[in-house]
Structure 1
Amino acid sequence: MKKFFNFTALALVISLGLSAVAQAEEIRVMTSGGFTAAYKILGPKFVESTGNTLDTALGPSMGKAPEAIPNRLARGEQADVVIMVGYALDDLIKQGKIDPASRVELADSRIGLAVREGAPKPDISSEDGLKKALLDAKSVAYSDSASGVYIEQQLFKRLGIENQLKPKSKMISKIPVGSVVATGDYQLGFQQVSELLPVPGVSFVAKIPESVQSVTRFAAGIPVNAQHPTEAKALLEYLASTAAQPDVKATGLDSVSH
């Protein structure tokens, strides 16, 4: 009787173990640049605590690049979670591709300036200082995502220097703006702070003045055809949690004000 009991107990443990393994899922995540640094810190912590794994694809929230999240989804790539600029996510919700009830606010991102490591840092603490830095610069780079669209279409106009900047400024696609500043190809590089800080070979200068700042909200949602919606929801709740905020802030993002 004792041997039978031990065998039965062992079989139960094995069964439970196999069940736990079977319940672990691979969550397919698409994330855009602004939240990526925070995601790279928080993702492994989620994996460790849940046993699930993350399969991650990087791409901008908008634009013509094939890596852009809307373009990935349009050609049928599968995802359980998308993390991107809030208004771009809203467009996907309107198209019926993202479950509107799944939308989660993650962080606010501000635009900053970087120069090549060792180069003088201009004073951009005021609008006049920012304007002078732009006019004095030999070349200016900005991203092909939300921050760059704002700079190209609004900031230069608001500062009254659109005509002067057009010949010497360029939108950089696919790669971090900081990378072309690090090589010396461009003197000034503007992008969301969280995307500038991780780039080697550059020095972060400052955020642009609040009076001409553009705050980008990052949010996340679950596609309507997600294969693992329950696990995806757990990931989003963790990324937006109070416990995650120290890591979010450490990457240059600001916590969402509720």
Structure 2
Amino acid sequence: MIHRRILVAGLCAPALARAQATPVRVLGTGAVAASVRDLAGAFAARGGREVLLATANAGVAARRLREGEAADLMLNSADQVARLTADALLDGTTTRELGRMLIGVAVRAGAAHPDISTEAALRAAILAAPMIAHSDPATGATAGTHAARLVERLGIADQMRTRTLVFPGGGAAVQAVAESRAALALTQVSEIIAVPGAVLVGPLPDSAQLVTPYLGAVATRATDRAGAAAFLSFLTGPEGQARFRAAGFAVG
């Protein structure tokens, strides 16, 4: 009986250790959130560690790391990763690209798709919308900052000032479209694809587009560098890249 107890305890020990292990803490943006959540489950199922994902827009995620939030791995825009690396908050030797993302236009499922094929058509579509939505440029949101600058450049900022809803992240802006609180949302394509009840009209025309590379890098204050590196390798491996591609990222 004693030997049996020892054997059972020995067999259970690795599983117990995995269950009690601290998750890999990942701080990422809304653009990568849906893909990373799916891949985190696959990573754990294949014997990797549990992943705890926290998300915010690019500027807020960077600020949270600067303010001392515990994170092992950062997934953010190339600009934010470069700044955090320069400030010694990320280990630049670990940086890897997840993919490149475009900004698109969302409408409610079943709604007519406006013409957005040219800047002139996009301008007309925005002006025709009773309300538009995007993430908050004041917080450093990548898509929201671009959307606000684009509306300004198109010469319609005054007309849209009271007809624009801003949200902490692009996913919430798309949700407003799905719920008919806004007619159009301008945000990252991956955030549009991830919201039921909203559909992608298409990417912005080339002359109005912003291409954003998204990168991963291990935090210099990481308590689990090995776990962070393993998960980043999984994200940038064949299965991870296939999932990012399905979310609208250009990879490879």
What band does the TM-score fall into relative to the shorter chain? 0.7 to 0.9
Question: Unaligned 5+ residue runs, structure 2?
Answer: none
Q: What do residues 17-37 of structure 1 show as CA deviations (whole Å, max 9, x unaligned)?
A: 635754765211111100111
Amino-acid identity (%) = 31
* Aligned equivalents of 1:167, 1:51: Cα separation in 2: 48
Is this contact kept in 2: 1:25–1:231, CA < 8 A?
A: no
Q: What do residues 129-160 of structure 1 show as CA deviations (whole Å, max 9, x unaligned)?
A: 2121012222211112101101112x224433
For the residue of structure 2 that corresponds to 1:214, the secondary structure is: coil
Does 1:40 pair with 2:37?
Answer: yes
Name the residue aligned to 1:227: 223
1:26 is aligned with what amino acid?
P
Name the TM-score, length of structure 2 as normaliser. 0.86
Does 1:151 pair with 2:147?
Answer: yes
Name the residue aligned to 1:65: none
Name the residue aligned to 1:249: 245
* Aligned equivalents of 1:50, 1:21: Cα separation in 2: 13
2:133 is aligned with what amino acid?
A
Name the residue aligned to 2:102: 110
Greater shift in the superposed pair: 46-55 or 13-22: 13-22
Does 1:52 pair with 2:49?
Answer: yes
Is this contact kept in 2: 1:176–1:196, CA < 8 A?
A: no
* Aligned equivalents of 1:162, 1:117: Cα separation in 2: 27
1:226 deviation in Å? 0.6
* Aligned equivalents of 1:70, 1:12: Cα separation in 2: 48
1:165 to 152, 160, 164: 160
Is this contact kept in 2: 1:139–1:168, CA < 8 A?
A: yes
2:63 to 71, 77, 87: 71
2:75 to 78, 83, 91: 83
1:171 deviation in Å? 2.5
* Aligned equivalents of 1:147, 1:176: Cα separation in 2: 13
Name the residue aligned to 1:187: 183
For the residue of structure 2 that corresponds to 1:50, the secondary structure is: coil
* Aligned equivalents of 2:218, 2:242: Cα separation in 1: 24
Q: What do residues 69-98 of structure 1 show as CA deviations (whole Å, max 9, x unaligned)?
A: 233323432111111112112221122211
Larger Rg: 1
Name the TM-score, length of structure 1 as normaliser. 0.84
Question: Unaligned 5+ residue runs, structure 1?
Answer: 1-6, 63-67
Change (3 A) 1:12 1:193: same
Is this contact kept in 2: 1:97–1:223, CA < 8 A?
A: yes
For the residue of structure 2 that corresponds to 1:38, the secondary structure is: helix
1:108 deviation in Å? 0.8
Greater shift in the superposed pair: 180-189 or 32-41: 180-189
* Aligned equivalents of 2:161, 2:27: Cα separation in 1: 33
Does 1:93 pair with 2:85?
Answer: yes
* Aligned equivalents of 2:168, 2:69: Cα separation in 1: 21
1:244 deviation in Å? 2.1
2:196 to 200, 223, 226: 200
